[in-house]
Amino acid sequence: MRFNQGFISRSALGRIGAAGLALSLLAGGAVVAQSALTKVPSEVQPGDYKLDPEHGKITWSVDHLGFSTYVGQFVNVQAELKLDPANPSASTLTATIPLTDVASNSDGLNRHLQTADFFDTANHPVATFRSTRITVDADDRDEATVHGELTLRGVTRPVVMEVEFNQAGTTRGGYKAGFDGEATIKRSDFGINFGLPALGDEVKLHIEGEFVKAAG
């Protein structure tokens, strides 16, 4: 296709060329950033990480009277990860879950969950987790088992979480490492007995987290 300079001036053609060059450079940068990502756990940068609250949440599900599986989320979770890819057993994870920030898609249920029937947030506004042992799967280095302690309503119980490493690398917001996790708890272990046994005791947890490495 030929441009008619009667319609497009030389200066306009110059601007078009400059814009094309800029787009090429941006595209090249995107390729570089993409190639810097890794799915190999041993290649992840060691150090101190904090959970990105906009890309971290806990989704819970529980049997609702045998009719359905009810699903909700905890948001605004705060977590810190000390990551040592060369020696994963030396890594540690701690988390604070604000029980007032629960999203169940029902305002009535959200309010009920704050009461003494469930979380009793007037006396126990947060739940906490701390890891006690981390072991990597010998057959799949992308997966690890995180043993830890969950404190809920003032009661501390052991919890085991199966974690899968997704990927790590530099992206918007800095250097990140992403994980997904699964765990199952019994709410009765923490003194939450409302509605038992009709309302499910077993609560399944799905954890999603993008951790940002601390600067420096």
Q: Identify the pLDDT of residue 26.
A: 43
Q: What's the predicted TM-score (pTM) here?
A: 0.81
Q: Identify the pLDDT of residue 13.
A: 40
CA distance linking residue 124 with residue 101, whole number of Å: 13
Q: Identify the pLDDT of residue 82.
A: 98
Q: Identify the pLDDT of residue 215.
A: 85
Q: Spell out the per-residue pLDDT of the chain, length 216, in tens.
A: 443 444 344 444 444 444 444 444 444 444 434 448 999 999 999 999 999 999 999 999 999 999 999 999 999 999 999 999 999 999 999 999 999 999 998 999 999 999 999 999 999 999 999 999 999 999 999 999 999 999 999 999 999 999 999 999 999 879 999 999 999 999 999 999 999 999 999 999 999 999 999 986
Q: Identify the pLDDT of residue 216.
A: 66
Q: Identify the pLDDT of residue 154.
A: 97
